[in-house]
Amino acid sequence: MKFDLNRVVEEVCLLEGQPLSERSLAAIVGEYDDGPTLSKTIRGIGAEKDFNTRFIADRAECVDVRGKKIRVCHNCQDSSQVHELFLFIHGLGGELEQFEPLLRLVDAMDQRFLALDLPGFGKSDEWDEYPMLKVVETIEEIAAKFNAAKIVLVGHSMGCYLTSHFYEAYHKVHSINRIVLLSPPKRVLYELQGNVVQWGIWFGYKLPWLFDFYRSWFDQSKGLASSGIRGFFSNDTITTIQTYRKLWQFHNNVQIKSRTIFGYLSGWQPIQWDKLNQIWNVTATTLVVMCGDRDAVTPISAAQEIVESLPEHMEKKLVTIPDCGHHVCFDTPGETCRLFAHYVLNKDV
């Protein structure tokens, strides 16, 4: 039978019947009035089921890492090391649910996947501090629990930095022959190195309630026009499913703690690109960089800079997602899945 990629993509992007509340998408979208009251109503008890899907809920669990709870989502009932494991690492302020269409795509292709809520985000426990390399160690401990000998790394935004650090630290522990960077930041974030910025990060980490006040009263009060939505979505369609995805993202946004955001910025670790290039010079790792052409958070120029700086002989590919912003999986899930299937899973119509 001929493989029908379009049918698979359509199925994995379909959300009708997925919410645990068992309500239709139209009913859910109609429940939440956009505007100043949205941030309050979307925190209600019922919202937890409105914006939790069957696919995620059926595969989610919490694992213990040194006394701290980390939520993971996986389809690794078969713990065999023979099969590759797609390891998904989200970005600053994200959570594993942001990969939902891609997780369903990988699952539909009978591939193993593992995604996690980074410490302090989603439903994972908070830490006192968030040194980036310690976070990477935690990701490795979780991967080890699932016998991940062969790994395909997939990072989004800040998760691209974590992915790069993971590859540098553990490329000899795991067989990593593919890396996917979704909406990567610039190679070097000089903005985080200035003294004034460092003082601002420290101040925000010590007094996060000030930023919480700003977010609640001056940003999230704008509802779906808030920065956490406008900066992540560029697609202006107003279909029910698109509005649902924006509400889903907003539901996640209002639960993010400012202290955690500043904690990650405080613990940020630059990538040692020279060392990474030395590793890539002696390995056969393939790199796929995907970025939306309307990404205002991590513009496509940052992705181009990364690809152009890598060794010439390395197998690398820059993929532009048309009419797409920063949140590639929620903004244009269908096109993102099709391109991922073609360039990463080597599947086509």
Look up tokens 């979208």; give the residue.
29
Cα–Cα distance, 220 to 254 (Å, whole number): 7
Give the residue numbers marked as catalytic.
Answer: 157
> Which long-range contacts does 119-123 make (Cβ < 8 Å, 24+ apart)?
119/68, 119/70, 120/257, 120/260, 120/263, 120/264, 121/90, 121/93, 121/94, 121/95, 121/256, 121/260, 122/71, 122/94, 122/95, 122/96, 122/97, 122/252, 123/62, 123/69, 123/71, 123/95
Dihedral angle at the C-alpha atoms of 155, 156, 162, 167, nearest 10 degrees? Answer: 20
Amino acid at 131: P
Residue 328 contacts residue 154 (beta carbons within 8 Å): no
Residue 37 CB-half CA count within 13 A: 5
